[in-house]
Structure 1
């Protein structure tokens, strides 16, 4: 394992944890804005329609994927600046 990869491990863990918290808060904010509701529907909520549950899941997945990509790319960029090598 090269130095950049080894240095990226702890940075990736921290960025990943923080990005999960950020993505969760962002999704909650987006859902509140879109549906004027505090909480998104759960898949097992029998009082919600399929369309609403699938919409919530798709929006949540897109937000989490985008925030994760941002965090991963940002972490790799930080490591390249510190070590001079790309960790990937």
Structure 2
């Protein structure tokens, strides 16, 4: 079982990178819809208030976590269907 989990690691890394890219694109689109601005505030953006910076960070973090979990779960499901074994 341990060897099988190690074999899944590269797949998990690729899925993680893909989920980060997807989440980043989704967040950018969501921020445009909600705030009517092209860019979300950075923590060091002097012209943005604490509330706006923290709300943007919370939304971005939640979206990244949801997308990562969905992609990881889908990847594990596909691996199980292909091999008959769960990669965890």
Question: If the length of structure 1 is used for normalisation, what is the TM-score?
Answer: 0.92
SS of 2:86 mapped into structure 1: coil
Higher relative contact order (CA 8 A, sep 6+): 1
| Counterpart position of 1:85 | 85
Tell me, yes or no, if structure 1 residue 47 matches structure 2 residue 18. no
In structure 2, stretches of 5+ residues that fail to align are none
| Runs of 4+ deviating beyond 4 Å | none
| Counterpart position of 2:72 | 72
Question: If the length of structure 2 is used for normalisation, what is the TM-score?
Answer: 0.92
Instruction: Report the RMSD for the aligned CA atoms in angstroms.
Output: 1.0
> Aligned pairs, how many?
87
User: How far does residue 13 in structure 1 lie from its aligned partner after superposition?
Assistant: 1.4
User: How far does residue 72 in structure 1 lie from its aligned partner after superposition?
Assistant: 0.8
In structure 1, stretches of 5+ residues that fail to align are none
User: In the aligned structure 2, how far is the partner of 1:66 from the partner of 1:7?
Assistant: 24
